[in-house]
Structure 1
């Protein structure tokens, strides 16, 4: 139940950030060419939206099997070694993203204490930096999910290419 909600929420956030960034950019370009002046804060907001989208998109990539991975060596070795390599890689993913989430939370607390605000939007920078612990925390959770499923079934998530044929 909670995973289904989290899956939909994750997808909603990614799509919303992407749509908002696109709309803000479009509006800024239209304003610049119709009135001669753009929207001063559009570029900053677009950057922040893409940062948030990328952090949550990476977690989505882990969950669906489209996150970057180099599997040449893993696919070349015998199955018993392959299993150990996959477990090690997923475990390192958990450790790394967990550490980034932890230290990102510490960074957010530090930035909160400084009172910094963004230059154009004048929003507290700690809000912008929340993408680090939230996105990395979700990514850590997704690595744990994939590891648990792999230990249980031996399967990794495989991204559906939408019916497209892939090169052999």
Structure 2
């Protein structure tokens, strides 16, 4: 599950985006503080943008935690079981996570799609097709973030050529289907690794015990 040299760019999606988002959040917040206390001004769109970025961090962090086996969980039964049973329990938990994430992906697509002038799926639980008629919502904008000139092409693509004053909601909301797709991919990766015997659980395994053992070992060396 850990990235190795030579692996493709897919293995580094979360790290790259999370690092970029953290850096941008820091710069925007710092600039807003300087504007407020240094020039008695304010960057009106800074708060909304950092809120959206924080939401992206949380959603991308979910798949990153799966990749790093960092999600917390109770593994008492796993520890008490023989290795073959551990694999079975691991596959059951992975299957449950895959099904649940697939449902999240459906729901996230259905919420975002109309903002991108796309049809949502039909079916309450699993997609049974796409809507034939739906209300396009590409004209919906966020509250404060102005549309950069480089994105003016969105007006023709999603707003029938009408001018956007703020960025359309389809941009920040796009993280919903994107992050759920990535989360599903990471759970599939984990399930494959368990099937091949490379891991036996998708939760963090005794990180605290390892740290305690390391501290004890270091204390013994000093003594």
Q: TM-score, normalised by structure 2?
A: 0.66
5+ long unaligned stretches in structure 2: 117-135, 146-165, 205-209, 214-223
CA radius of gyration, larger in = 2
Match of residue 154 from structure 2: none
Task: Please show how residues 70-149 of structure 1 align to structure 2 within 5 Å.
Answer: 70-112=74-116, 113-114=136-137, 115-121=139-145, 122-149=166-193
Match of residue 162 from structure 1: none
| Offset at residue 3 of structure 1 (A) | 5.6
More helix by share: 1
5+ long unaligned stretches in structure 1: 160-164
| Offset at residue 2 of structure 1 (A) | 9.8
Q: Deviations over 1:45-91 (max 9, x none)?
A: 00111111221221111011112323233323443433222111111
Match of residue 60 from structure 2: 56
Match of residue 38 from structure 1: 42
Aligned in 2, Cα 1:54/1:2: closer, same or farther, shift over 3 Å? Answer: farther
Distance 1:93 1:38 in 2: 43
Distance 1:30 1:76 in 2: 56
| Offset at residue 154 of structure 1 (A) | 4.5
Match of residue 153 from structure 1: 197
Q: Give the conservation status (yes or no) of the 8 Å contact 2:72–2:203.
A: no
CA RMSD of aligned residues (A): 2.5
Distance 2:173 2:82 in 1: 43
Distance 1:3 1:47 in 2: 32
Q: TM-score, normalised by structure 1?
A: 0.86
Secondary structure in structure 1 of the residue aligned to 2:141: coil
Match of residue 16 from structure 1: 20
Structure 1 range deviating more: 39-48 or 77-86:
77-86
Distance 1:24 1:90 in 2: 39
Distance 2:171 2:104 in 1: 17
